Amino acid sequence: MLAVAEGNTHAVGLGEIKLSRDPQDMLVAYGLGSCVAVAMYDPFTRAAGLLHAVLPERIKDAEVTSAKYVDSGVAQLLAELERLGANRGRLVVRMVGGANMLSLKDAKQALNIGERNVAAARVALTSLRLRINGEDVGGTKGRTVRLFVADGRMTVRVLGSETRDL
């Protein structure tokens, strides 16, 4: 699902992308666990976008441009920002999330969706020739991330700790 934000705080839900160029807006993904949020911001056009992806790659016969998947969601986020006038060469890219939320000691690597989401995001961003400017990934705790459209500032709050800039 894709939405262009208008007005102040805009929650980016599971499998969504939200975009804005309104300096009054803030895009927020609450409670990221194994999910990955990828933020892109063009400081010249003030075009901002936030992806909240759930799974690393789309499965066979899945919708090709679904934001639910990291691989297609990152490409879709970039395409939509370029439609808003963003230039990929100026984009500030950040990634948050990818925690291992399962506490099973013998859980197979294949089940670690958080790590797989982070790896998929790295591959997708590299294939699009985008560099990650900041990240807060992994661990075992959920996070909330906020992207401020006015200046591209991004904050992260890990469960049980203070909010900090990324």
| Number of Cβ atoms within 10 Å of the Cβ of 99 | 27
Task: Give counts: helices (H), strands (E), the chain.
Answer: 2, 11
**CA 44, CA 108: separation in Å to the nearest integer?**
44
Pair of tokens at residue 149: 């459209």
Show the 3-state SS of 62-88: CCCCCCCEHHHHHHHHHHHHHHCCCCC
Angle between the N-to-C axes of helices 113-127 and 70-83, in degrees from 0 to 180, rounded to the nearest 10: 40
Whether 35 is catalytic: yes
Q: Active-site residue among 5, 32, 35, 81?
A: 35
Catalytic residues: 35
